[in-house]
């Protein structure tokens, strides 16, 4: 009888832990890392390195480094530290598991990292042809 109670407790704990994991938000560390690095490079004035993290050829970040400098000058609203507020759209571990089990692409095609502090900045990321997250667009936004 004691073994049965122990087994039931273990099963309930495992079920509760599994449920909590499935509902937990997925913090895309790779995408958010690219966004953080890009923002830090912009704020440090290392625009060549920041431009290297962008998806080349789209007019939103500039077609070349000179145009990127102009875009960055308009969109960078502060050099103060900003903190990552959230990734959008949100995705849970369960959502990723469900997409994987159904044979669908697990990663979202586009993710926006929203930073806050002295101002708000959004950095939209998309994957390049080899699957690396790259900056597709960035802009300071209204609160």
Please tell me whether residue 24 adopts helix, strand or coil conformation. Answer: coil
Strands 120-127 and 110-116, by their bridges, are antiparallel
**pTM for this predicted structure:** 0.82
Q: Cα(36)–Cα(30) distance, rounded to whole angstroms?
A: 10
**Bridge-partner residues for 54, per DSSP?**
135
For the domain spanning 25-141, the CATH number is 3.10.450
Give the pLDDT of residue 78: 86
Q: How far is it between the farthest Cα atoms of the chain?
A: 75
Q: Which residue has the tokens 């309930």?
A: 12
Could you list the pLDDT tens digit for every one of the 143 residues in the chain? 788 777 778 777 777 777 777 778 888 899 999 999 999 999 999 999 999 999 987 778 888 999 999 999 999 888 888 999 999 988 888 888 888 989 998 888 899 999 998 899 999 999 988 989 999 999 998 76
Can you read off the two tokens belonging to residue 72? Answer: 């960055």
Give the pLDDT of residue 136: 96
Can you read off the two tokens belonging to residue 3? Answer: 């073994």
Give the pLDDT of residue 143: 60
């Amino acid at each position: 009888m004691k073994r049965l109670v122990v087994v039931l407790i273990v099963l309930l704990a495992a079920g509760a832990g599994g449920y909590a994991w499935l509902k937990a938000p997925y913090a895309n560390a790779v995408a958010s890392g690219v966004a953080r690095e890009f923002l830090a490079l912009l704020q440090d004035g290392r625009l060549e390195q920041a431009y290297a993290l962008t998806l080349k050829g789209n007019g939103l970040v500039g077609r070349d480094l000179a145009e990127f400098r102009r875009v960055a000058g308009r969109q960078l609203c502060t050099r103060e530290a900003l903190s990552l507020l959230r990734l959008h759209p949100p995705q849970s571990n369960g959502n990723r598991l469900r997409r994987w089990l159904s044979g669908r692409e697990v990663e979202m095609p586009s993710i926006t990292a929203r930073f806050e502090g002295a101002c708000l900045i959004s950095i939209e990321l998309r994957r390049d042809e080899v699957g690396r997250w790259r900056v597709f667009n960035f802009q300071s936004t209204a609160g």
